[in-house]
Amino acid sequence: MRMAKEVDVVIVGAGQVGSLMAAKLAAAGRSVTVFEAGAERGAQSLASSQIWARQLKGTPGVVASGGADPLGVNFNTGQGAGGSAVHHYACWFRLHPEDFEMRSRHGVAADWPLGYEDLRSAYDAVQEEVGLAGDAAAERWRPPGADYPLPPFPRFRQGEVLARGFARKGLHVSPLPLAIATVPYKGRQSCIYDGWCDAGCPTGALANPLVTYLKWAKEQGAAIAYRSRVVRLVTDEAGGRVTGVIVSRDGERYFQPAALVIVAGFALETPRLLLASATERHPQGLANGSGTLGRYLHSHVAGGVFGLFNEETDPHLGVNGGQLLCQDGYAKPVAEGKDFVGGYQWLIGHSAKPNDLLGIACSRPDLHGAAFNAFMADAVKHFGSMTAVGESLPLAENRVELARELDEHGMPKMQVTHRWDDNAKRLYAHAMKEGVDIFRSAGAREAWHGPMAGMHLLGGARMGKDAASSVTDGYGRCHELANLFIAGPSLFPSGGSVNPTFTASALAHRSAAHIAAEWRRYTA
């Protein structure tokens, strides 16, 4: 097998956190090579079409997404430069302090090996680097931290209408914090509110990796190898260190030596690669002495609420993530009128296209024929929507496993298993009832809700203080391998009730600084 020239750092995956770590470690003077299984792409490939945009979604090697409540895999993943962050909605929130202590405070899930204060400065640094827009003072639920560097988004008619419903129910709203430029920022232009976010914002307003960390990584000298699938991590004879990776590209396999390896392949591909790298020293897969690798895969429990109003709402204007936020329901404990542990938030006033999974059409799967077309003609002027994002408790049985079937690189595909527990089902029912009530209070002539769905992929290689029950420490370093790190949402022991990209980025920012400062310790 051909051997490439050794580099300091190999990173697997050119998504949000892989790009971030590449930018930081290259800036620290390290030679960095990023291997990305998908293709290179630029802004010009981001066509404004929900039909074309499906090419951005992932097609990972999953034999089956099964279990009682299968997770939506393809929609939640990505492929190619920037990974799933290229089509993400840029809703960026901080976890709350108690999210890090679900076991010790509430007796469920697992504690993180770090607390909010450990991550606070990284949140502040990341939001300054990419440019977050919001109104910190209006977010009455927001943990302490620096003010947003950009002013909040404007409120369009749909936001005004739905805010009225929240106010009448005695609930609070704030502008949604978004990683989207509301004014020109660091050479990027400001948003023009056309709602093409998940088709991959080509204007540069949305802080996806193509215009932030991946761009900066290349500027700092990191090499990005596209269509290059890492099929195996290689360890030394003692099994205590990773010596490099085996890469498959254009039908050839070669060995890329590295002093340190970071796996940033997202919640499915990360455990897949470690499981597929089993050795005699690590028979259950690398870094799987605890037996937890691939387990505790979880998702946010989500549900959409929809309605039609007599007044025009301009539902096409704005950004896909929404206009407003409500976290009045974030409190964790069971209480009167709340029969579940964990909280939820509302993302309010999505910009909706006529078609696609989160467009207007799919809100009424029951209609067809002339009745459906009549609904569409009405709804494009009068539609409103919002989404509950709720906490689900990670279950050990929800997992990624290797399948027998091999992909075109000779790597085992995956089998994904998932079910919701009763706590998640109660949370969903509670939120949907509240959401429909809010729409009626806002004056909707019709209000309904969508099915229980998974939103985001988390866990699978969770971090923790105890090597007997987790895969990595608080910096993402694998307990059993001195120079192998994991980055991304696969590390999350629990997911709170907020979209994960900001927290995954903050974790990666903190870990990159740590690796740069402690380089000799990990590579000696």
Catalog residues that contact another protein under the rule CB under 8 A: 43-44, 46-52, 54-55, 57, 59, 62-65, 70, 72-75, 79, 135, 138, 151-157, 175, 189, 192-196, 201-203, 316-317, 353-357, 359, 361-362, 365-366, 368-370, 372-373, 376-377, 380-381
| Closer Cβ to another protein, 313 or 423, answer by number | 313
Least distance from C-beta 62 to another protein, angstroms?
7
| Closest distance of CB 117 from another protein, Å | 30
- For tokens 């990341």, what's the residue? 126
Q: Which is nearer to another protein, 115 or 354 (CB)?
A: 354
Nearer to another protein, 15 or 175 (CB): 175
Alpha carbons 524 and 520: distance in angstroms, whole number: 5
CB of 371 to another protein, least distance (A): 9
Of 57 and 215, the one with the shorter C-beta distance to another protein is 57
User: Which CB, 285 or 359, lies closer to another protein?
Assistant: 359
Q: How many angstroms separate the Cα of 132 from the Cα of each of 23, 80, 126, 135, 152?
A: 19, 24, 9, 10, 9
Residue 66 corresponds to which amino acid? G
Tell which residue, 172, 215, 214, 251, has the closest CA to residue 409. Answer: 251
| Residue 3 beta carbon to another protein: minimum distance, rounded to whole angstroms | 30
24 or 157: CB nearest another protein: 157
CB of 89 to another protein, least distance (A): 16
Find out whether 465 and 55 touch, Cβ atoms under 8 Å.
Answer: no
Q: Kindly state the DSSP code that residue 57 receives in the 8-state scheme.
A: B
| DSSP character at residue 94 | P
Joined together, the tokens standing for residue 208 give 């996806």
Q: Which is closer to another protein, CB of 50 or CB of 505?
A: 50
Residue closer to another protein by CB (options 65, 290) is 65
- Cβ of 366: how many Cβ atoms within 10 Å? 9
**Count of CB atoms situated within 10 Å of the CB of 216:** 19
CB of 63 to another protein, least distance (A): 6
Give the residue from 370, 374, 341 showing the smallest Cα distance to 360. Answer: 374
What is the Cα 142 distance to its own chain's centre?
A: 19
DSSP 113: S
Indicate left, alpha or beta for 313 from its phi (over 0: left) and psi (-120 to 50: alpha).
alpha
Question: For residue 492, which phi and psi values (nearest 5 degrees)?
Answer: -65, 120
CB of 166 to another protein, least distance (A): 13
Say how far apart CA 462 and CA 459 lie, in whole Å. 6
Closest CA to 401 of 274, 492, 235: 274
Are the C-beta atoms of 340 and 301 separated by less than 8 Å?
A: no
User: Least distance from C-beta 168 to another protein, angstroms?
Assistant: 18
31: its two tokens: 């030679």
Which residue number, 49 or 469, has a Cβ lying nearer to another protein? 49
What distance separates the 2 farthest-apart alpha carbons in the chain? 71
**Shortest separation between residue 269's beta carbon and another protein, angstroms:** 14
